[in-house]
Amino acid sequence: MGFSAGGRSRVWIFDLDNTLHDARPHIFPHINRSMTEYVARLLDLGAEEADELRDAYWKRYGATLIGLIRHHSVDPGHFLRETHPVLDIERMVVGRRELRSVLRRLPGRKIVFSNAPGHYARAVLQVLGVGDLFDDVFSIERTRFRPKPQAHGFVRLLHAHRLAPSRCIMVEDSLENLRTARRLGMKTVWVTESNYAPAWVDASVRQLFRLPRLLHRL
């Protein structure tokens, strides 16, 4: 146990939102509302205009935050604190009871790698009762605000932990983010409800509890 076919121990790199928990029912709507309100307040816009601007930044930079930093000198720490919930988070996180036992059955070190801020990621992990199972939470601050799917954060994570990509298995719901992981030489697991997975994905699962049964492929 703990060793892949290559004889070297595996390192699991988990995305957070919609991978370790379901952010769709409560958390993402909350973050969306908060970001629109933040932009509206900052630039004195109506909700609709604020949404349009967010959308434009999202398409251009992959994140609202990056556009706000570049064009409006927004302090990223302030933006992230204001838009990511911590209060009441235990009522917003939708997790699965078996998560802890599933993670414990996966041999090797585990790291969270998220485009979300550290304070929020750690709060979610605590609610899920799995914070102690991860060696590190590599949050957006640690990528110097260069979110996935950009390779920059992946490379920083690999350097910080002195990891060869061939030892790493990235578990993610975003195919775009997995594509970068794959290009860097990591194995990939796609968390998806889709019945179709591209051939380059090493495994796809609807729920993480399937993962221990797929170890032979990873």
Q: What is the contact surface with Mg ion in residues (CB under 5 A)? A: 15, 17-18, 173
3 state SS of 49: helix
Nearest distance in Å: CB 171, Mg ion: 10
Nearest distance in Å: CB 85, Mg ion: 16
Distance CA 174, CA 15 (A): 9
Nearest distance in Å: CB 62, Mg ion: 13
Specify the amino acid at residue 138: F
Residue 42 vs 89, nearer CB to Mg ion: 89
Residue 11 vs 112, nearer CB to Mg ion: 112
Specify the amino acid at residue 111: I
Residue 18 vs 34, nearer CB to Mg ion: 18
Q: What is the DSSP letter of 171?
A: E
Instruction: Please report which residue ranges of the chain form alpha helices under DSSP H.
Output: 27-43, 47-61, 64-72, 76-83, 89-92, 99-104, 118-128, 151-160, 175-183
Residue 42 vs 127, nearer CB to Mg ion: 127
Contacts of 191 (CB under 8 A, 6+ apart): 15, 18, 19, 171, 172, 173, 204, 205, 206, 207, 208
Residue 4 vs 204, nearer CB to Mg ion: 204
Nearest distance in Å: CB 31, Mg ion: 12
Nearest distance in Å: CB 43, Mg ion: 28
